[in-house]
Amino acid sequence: MTHSNSTVDKKRRHLRGALLWRYWRSFFTVVRIVYFWLFKDYPRFPWRSCVALALVLLYVVNPIDLIPDIILGIGWLDDAFFVTLLPFLFRKDVETFNAWKLAKTEKTSSKQS
pLDDT digits (tens, 9 = 90+) for 32-41: 888 888 898 8
Work out how many domains the chain is built from and give that number. Answer: 1
Distance CA 86, CA 64 (A): 20
Global confidence as pTM: 0.65
**pLDDT reading at 75 higher than 70:** yes
Full domain range(s) for residue 99: 2-112
pLDDT of residue 113: 60
Nearest CA-CA partner of 54 in 18, 25, 90, 24? 90
pLDDT at 1: 46
Residues 45-71 pLDDT 10s: 888 888 888 888 888 787 777 777 677
